[in-house]
């Protein structure tokens, strides 16, 4: 089992979510996060003076999945979140030792 975490541009959330649902993903977790990468931050103005905001708002999507679905899900996210511009985000894939569904106590693939 893997945990796929994708950092994407906030306005792409709807598109990515829809694409994932269309693919068959049955659940995901979304958080509002802040950070920076190559895009860095942006400048804003206050009474004529420019100042830098170092971090940008992004959205993090987390999806728990079986190993064999990983390449397809990565494809779905990459294509739906892509604007071909700097700041589109990244996808991380990590191993998951165990998953437990709280209500039933199911574990492993059954709990996904």
Positions that interact with another protein (CB under 8 A): 11, 14, 34, 42-46, 50, 53-57
Beta carbon nearer to another protein, 52 or 95: 52
Nearer to another protein, 86 or 102 (CB): 86
Output the CA–CA distances (angstroms, integers) from residue 30 to 3, 14, 64, 84, in the order listed: 13, 11, 12, 23
Are residues 36 and 88 in contact, defined by beta-carbon separation less than 8 angstroms? no
Of 14 and 106, CB closest to another protein: 14
We find the least distance from the C-beta atom of residue 23 to another protein, in angstroms, to be 20
């Amino acid at each position: 089992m893997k945990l796929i975490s994708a950092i994407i541009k906030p306005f792409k959330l709807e598109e990515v979510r829809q694409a994932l649902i269309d693919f068959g993903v049955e659940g995901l977790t979304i958080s509002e996060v802040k950070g920076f990468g190559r895009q860095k931050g942006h400048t804003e103005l206050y009474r004529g003076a420019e100042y830098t905001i170092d971090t940008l708002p992004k959205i993090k999507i987390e999806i728990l999945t079986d190993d064999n679905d990983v390449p397809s899900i990565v494809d779905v996210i990459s294509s739906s979140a892509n604007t071909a511009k700097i700041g589109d985000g990244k996808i991380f894939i990590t191993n998951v030792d165990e998953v437990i569904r709280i209500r039933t106590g199911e574990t492993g693939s059954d709990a996904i």
